Amino acid sequence: MAQHAAQAILCGLSKEDNMDNRGSFFTSSLVILSLLCVTSFGAEKPQSISLLKPQTEGGRPLMQALKDRNSSRSLSSEKLPLQVLSNLLWAAFGINRPDSGKRTAPSAMNWQEIDIYVAMSGGLYLYNAKANALDPILAEDIRALTGRQPFVSEAPVNLIYVADFSRATKASPEDKDLYSAADVGFISENVYLFCASEGLSTVVRGSIDRQELAKAMKLRPDQKIILAQTIGYPKK
Per-residue confidence (pLDDT) for residue 18, from 0 to 100: 46
Distance CA 127, CA 191 (A): 14
* Residue 119: CA count within 13 A, CB half-sphere: 24
Could you tell me if 180 and 226 are in contact, meaning their C-beta atoms sit under 8 angstroms apart? yes
SS3 content of the chain, % helix, strand, coil (to 5): 45, 20, 35
Could you tell me if 220 and 192 are in contact, meaning their C-beta atoms sit under 8 angstroms apart? no
Per-residue confidence (pLDDT) for residue 44, from 0 to 100: 64
Could you tell me if 126 and 116 are in contact, meaning their C-beta atoms sit under 8 angstroms apart? yes
Helix (H, G, I), strand (E, B) or coil at 128: strand
Per-residue confidence (pLDDT) for residue 33, from 0 to 100: 40
CATH numbers and ranges of domains, the chain: 2-42 (no CATH), 49-232 (3.40.109.10)
Give the burial class of 116: count Cβ atoms within 10 A of its Cβ; 0-12 exposed, 13-18 middle, 19 or more buried: buried
Pairing state between β 114-120 and 102-103 = unpaired
Distance CA 234, CA 236 (A): 6
Distance CA 115, CA 111 (A): 11
Per-residue confidence (pLDDT) for residue 236, from 0 to 100: 86
Distances (CA, A) of 122 to 12, 77, 199: 36, 13, 24
Helix (H, G, I), strand (E, B) or coil at 77: coil
Residue pLDDT, tens place only, 63-84: 999 999 999 999 999 999 999 9
Per-residue confidence (pLDDT) for residue 46, from 0 to 100: 82
Q: Give every residue of the chain whose pLDDT is below 50, as ranges.
A: 1-42
* Single pTM value for the model: 0.82
